[in-house]
Amino acid sequence: MCGIFATTGHVETNKMKEILESMKHRGPDEGKQVPLEGFHIGHQRLSIIGLEDGIQPISNEQQSKWIVCNGEIYNYLELKDELEQQTSFLTHSDSEVALKLIETEGVKSIEKLDGMFAFVIVDELTDTFVAARDTLGIKPLYYGRDDEGNYVFSSELKTLYLVTNDVQEFPPGTYYTPETGFVRYREIQHPDQTAQTTRREMTTAIREKLEQAIEKRLLADVEVGVLLSGGLDSSLISAIAAKKAKEQGKTVKSFCVGSAGSEDIERARDVAKAIGSDHYEYIYTQEELIEAIPHVVYALESYEPSLVRSAIPNYFVSKLASEHVKVILSGEGADEIFAGYEYMKQFQTTESLNEEIIRIINTLHNINLQRGDRMSMAHSIELRVPFLDLELIETALQIPSEQKLHTAEQMEKTILRESFDGVLPDQVLWRKKEEFSAGSGALDLLETYANETISDSELARMNEAAPVEIRSKQEALFYRYFIEYFPEQSALETVGKWATA
């Protein structure tokens, strides 16, 4: 949705212009900075809610407190109804609700927010501030101190490195004030008990929670589209969104990319026809894919090979979608919460499986979710992830392991498939999972190019010089671009890693 910057110091005018320009892709609609007595804050806006009056930074009536926020607060209307008895609102923006909530009820009220967000609220009267990030880290936030000891915050590494080399990722589900330090306000918990219900009751609950999650994420003053790879997860999101659009007399727009003859292109066409979406596709060439690599690494702010491989198709599909809509829904997160990965079969008890699910959900902030945010925002479009709705996660964790695990008799995510029986054609609903970069045709192309570009001797030389292990030729290829754009040692410490390269 946006790019934010905040510091307890002051930034010279030309430097502030450079800061805002560095994240203009996150919000090309409007840009604004406000120098205050004790702070300097800036914002680049992609207008989604409160189109006419939601420009940020937003202040209270006395202009003593200000917020810069990136993201969406899905329950802002309910919170606004509660708060209107105690305070008044100056805009229709969901971000102002976060400001007013904390102004009225204090910093602990952050736990009431349901959404994806990263924000900084500064208080001129008390010369303090609060910074916060959503539970899963769907929206990014980085922090550090400059040479004078001032706190600095921003949405992306490239912005923060304009003012300091001391950069760290802000932890998800956490707020920070100078008085309290970091406080974990919410984290994903093991359920008190597993569901003592029938299979039918479980599938009904899953269906209801996912439909509610999508309903929340259709909230916008602009058109919302869907990413459609033709796999189970994106097809379910697309089918439900298409149904809700049809109820309003509209047609949802769906988007897919791939190389010529790739599985994703053919499958997505079939699904789009079945659900009646207004479907768009783009066929990229090998030359375009190779050409995109440095742009993707720069935007992604990572060289992790599994991430870059899947980010390249994401980069192209976000570009395609941005020509038609401002918001897109993605199927991200279904494999994590419904145990869709093959290796999860080793976790035979509900407790051990949930422990692994919670572990990987808590790593998404600097891998899959980073990819989703950066590739969409590189093209000034907002991506939303219904499967990672907190209520849906809670429901999924209550399902016993034997009801979720992949076995000889039960394919992966069977319970999710059963939950939407009749919503999709059987050949889509019961199609086996395939990695996005494989289905889109990117995997083979990148492997071939990396082997042609990086020799065995060069890989050995890079491993001797690098402060981290370079695990494959693909990783070497992406790492080479990464250190060119982000030479600072602290940048390496923000890179999330998958188990294999």
Sign for the pseudo-dihedral over CA of 361, 365, 366, 371? positive
What does the alpha-carbon distance between residue 209 and residue 467 come to, in Å, rounded to a whole number?
A: 45
Sequence-ordered alpha helix ranges (H) in 362-472:
368-377, 390-397, 401-404, 414-419, 426-429, 436-439, 442-453, 456-465
Longest dimension (CA), the chain: 69
Amino acid identity of residue 486, one-letter, is F
One of 1, 2, 4, 292 is an active-site residue; which one? 2
What does the alpha-carbon distance between residue 20 and residue 42 come to, in Å, rounded to a whole number?
A: 7
Question: What residue has token string 């939601």?
Answer: 54
Sign for the pseudo-dihedral over CA of 90, 325, 138, 486? negative
What does the alpha-carbon distance between residue 500 and residue 160 come to, in Å, rounded to a whole number?
A: 29
Long-range contacts of 477-480 (CB under 8 A, 24+ apart): 477/293, 477/449, 477/450, 477/453, 478/293, 478/297, 478/303, 478/304, 478/305, 478/308, 479/303
Of the candidates 215, 208, 269, 274, which has an alpha carbon nearest to the alpha carbon of residue 241? Answer: 215
Assess contact for 432 and 411: CB atoms under 8 A.
yes
What does the alpha-carbon distance between residue 423 and residue 206 come to, in Å, rounded to a whole number?
A: 14
Q: How many CB atoms lie within 10 A of CB 205?
A: 19
Q: Is the peptide bond before 57 cis (omega within 30 degrees of 0)?
A: yes
Query: For residues 333, 337, 341 and 346, what is the CA-based torsion angle, rounded to 10 degrees?
Result: 160
Q: What tokens does 300 get?
A: 């992604």
What does the alpha-carbon distance between residue 377 and residue 230 come to, in Å, rounded to a whole number?
A: 23
Q: What tokens does 349 get?
A: 């008890």
86 φ/ψ angles, rounded to the nearest 5 degrees: -110, -20
> Is-catalytic flag, 2?
yes
What does the alpha-carbon distance between residue 207 and residue 391 come to, in Å, rounded to a whole number?
A: 12
What does the alpha-carbon distance between residue 496 and residue 360 come to, in Å, rounded to a whole number?
A: 12
Query: For residues 386, 392, 394 and 396, what is the CA-based torsion angle, rounded to 10 degrees?
Result: -110
Classify the phi-psi angles of 380: left when phi > 0, otherwise alpha if psi is within -120 to 50, otherwise beta.
left
What does the alpha-carbon distance between residue 461 and residue 200 come to, in Å, rounded to a whole number?
A: 58
What does the alpha-carbon distance between residue 376 and residue 381 come to, in Å, rounded to a whole number?
A: 5
Q: Which residues are catalytic?
A: 2
